[in-house]
Amino acid sequence: MVLLGAPGSGKGTQGEKLAAHFGIPKVSTGDALRAAVAAGTDLGRKAKRAMDAGQLVDNEIVIGIVEERLAQPDAAKGFILDGFPRNTAQAQVLDAMLVRLGQPAIDKAVHLQVDDEEIIKRLLDRAHKEGRADDKEDVIRKRIRVYNDETHPLLDYYRAQNKLVAVPGVGAVDEIFQRILRVLKH
């Protein structure tokens, strides 16, 4: 399963709940990239420059992180991707990667729909609570623009494969989770 939505749409929260519910790992490229940044690795330094500027991290860095993770034994039964793919090219690479790894194809792409102003409010609140330097208003607005320009076409990619399900991402966390479970049953 792939979780789609703008930064701050709730992919991380819902991904954790879905992973626990289905007993499969949630693979978050954001978490993996932040860990590399915190560790000060070469990959982390490259990622930090892009993240601080509100840009997407290079495809090859993200793809390497994802492939390494999906090759691990706990992902053999399934997985939830949060933050990857970010564009149609990455989705095509993911499809080929899954074949190469002997994994089944993506079954569903869940799009958490949240309007831009709600996203900005959520991310500013998170920045205040967590002290995240990448969540300043100008950077947030740029991340939303980048998402809309580069990631949004993924909706069409998965819609064309009849894999896209859309869920309103506003309301109580458990209410959103129940909406996701309902659409996954169909």
Consult the annotation and say whether 22 binds a ligand: no
Consult the annotation and say whether 168 binds a ligand: no
Q: Which domains occur in the chain, in start order?
A: 2-185 (3.40.50.300)
101-155 residue pLDDT tens: 999 999 999 999 999 999 999 999 988 888 776 668 888 898 899 888 888 899 9
Any catalytic annotation for residue 179? no
Any catalytic annotation for residue 145? no
Any catalytic annotation for residue 185? no
* pLDDT (0 to 100) of residue 135: 67
Consult the annotation and say whether 57 binds a ligand: yes
22-64 residue pLDDT tens: 999 999 887 778 877 888 878 788 888 888 887 778 888 888 7
Give the whole-angstrom CA distance, residue 47 versus residue 102: 29
* pLDDT (0 to 100) of residue 133: 67
Consult the annotation and say whether 12 binds a ligand: yes
Name the catalytic one among 100, 132, 145, 182.
132
Give SS3 for 89: helix
* pLDDT (0 to 100) of residue 183: 94
Prediction pTM value: 0.84
